[in-house]
């Protein structure tokens, strides 16, 4: 329980802190007055003033917030330094900076993982690294360390050749695999299963993993590539969720906390990986054109730029109410999934 709480505080704190820092630094750069930058919520534990800004640490260590003057046009005490008085472009930069930081943070996290812990790469050899429990390969007696020699009588020399040979088959075909173990060649016959998500048959094996060190510049390159690959994967998954909302398996705060605790049990590096994934997810979700999210706020700024004047107060209020209602419905749906997952699965 303590580990779960600590992991949750670390992950949420890191993500929201990075997000709010993006808003904070760009507000400062564009000449806006920031009255407070807070780490956490609730009562102040420690606070200090530097220049015009109060920097505080608060009692609930989950995230943080910025108090940027002039966010409400009807209550702007900062004059021309208020948010509402700045050009549309400046306000767009500030609004987008939060999610931008959520995309930048994983690059730093992945870089640190690669540079200090090394890189795990799939081995090109047709050697089984692990066997998935309950799948066809385990039932047939295949084990980690077995070298695949032939698939249905056709020789394979690499792991890619092995997977390609399976990809050409359908779920109704049985697979004959010749493998070498301790110098002896054996054969097994197994029945694969079809995976709808990947649209291919699976027998339940994974390749061997090679661990090696990575240099400074290679770590940067790998971090950027991994971040981009995950963003593409998440956008694809998001499209599928919108196409089939009833099948979406969303997790709320309870589910995320539970996952953070489980990941933390395996080590600090996996927790950093989890934080990076969650940061990218937060960045993408926050850019959706939903009122009350940064993406929705950005849309209203685009409309203001096109119209030459801001939307009326009533239109903004109604849009925000709709956005909040949508977010509450989504949160209730995710919380329902969490309860089912935690207590009934």
Q: In angstroms, rounded to a whole number, what is the distance separating the alpha carbons of residues 195 and 201? A: 6
DSSP class of 197: T
**Cα atoms in the 13 Å half-sphere on the side-chain side of 64:** 24
Given the DSSP bridges, would you call strands 184-190 and 34-50 parallel, antiparallel or unpaired?
Answer: unpaired
Catalytic annotation, pick one of 20, 138, 155, 180: 20
Phi, psi of 185 (to 5 degrees): -100, 130
Residue 205 near residue 137 (C-beta atoms within 8 A) = yes
The b/e string for 285-301 (b: 16+ C-beta within 10 A; e otherwise) is bbbeebbbbbbbbbbbb
Retrieve residue 314's tokens: 């009533």
Contact 63, 12 (CB under 8 A): yes
Evaluate whether 86 touches 32 at the Cβ level (below 8 Å): yes
DSSP, res 30? T
Identify whether 20 is a catalytic site residue. Answer: yes
Q: Which one, of 248, 235, 237, lies nearest residue 337 by Cα? A: 248
What residues are labeled active site? 20
């Amino acid at each position: 329980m303590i580990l779960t709480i600590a992991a949750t505080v670390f992950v949420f704190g890191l993500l929201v802190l990075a997000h709010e820092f993006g808003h904070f630094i760009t507000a400062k750069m564009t000449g806006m007055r920031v009255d407070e930058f807070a780490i956490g919520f609730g009562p102040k534990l420690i606070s200090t003033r530097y220049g015009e800004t109060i920097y505080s640490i608060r009692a609930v260590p989950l995230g943080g917030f910025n108090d940027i003057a002039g966010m409400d046009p009807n209550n702007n005490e900062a004059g021309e330094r208020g948010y509402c008085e700045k050009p549309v472009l400046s306000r767009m930069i500030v609004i987008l900076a939060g999610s931008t930081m959520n995309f930048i943070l994983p690059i730093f996290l992945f870089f640190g993982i690669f540079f200090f812990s090394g890189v795990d790469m799939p081995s090109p050899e047709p050697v089984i690294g692990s066997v998935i429990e309950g799948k066809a390969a385990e039932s047939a007696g295949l084990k980690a360390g077995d070298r695949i020699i032939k698939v249905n009588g056709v020789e394979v020399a690499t792991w890619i050749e092995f997977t390609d040979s399976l990809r050409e088959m359908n779920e109704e075909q049985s697979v004959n695999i010749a493998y070498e173990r301790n110098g002896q060649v054996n054969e097994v016959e197994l029945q694969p299963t079809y995976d709808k998500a990947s649209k291919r048959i699976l027998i339940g094996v994974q390749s061997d993993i090679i661990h090696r060190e990575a240099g400074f510049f290679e770590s940067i390159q790998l971090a950027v590539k991994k971040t981009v690959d995950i963003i593409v994967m998440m956008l694809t998954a998001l499209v599928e969720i919108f196409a089939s909302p009833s099948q979406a398996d969303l997790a709320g705060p309870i589910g995320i906390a539970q996952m953070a605790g489980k990941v933390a049990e395996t080590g600090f590096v996996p927790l950093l990986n989890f934080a990076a994934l969650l940061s990218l997810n937060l960045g993408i979700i926050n850019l959706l054109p939903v009122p009350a999210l940064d993406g929705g706020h950005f849309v209203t700024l685009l409309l203001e730029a096109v119209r030459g004047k801001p939307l009326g107060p009533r239109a903004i209020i109604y849009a925000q109410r709709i956005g909040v209602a949508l977010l509450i419905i989504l949160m209730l749906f995710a919380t329902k999934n969490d309860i089912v997952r935690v207590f009934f699965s």
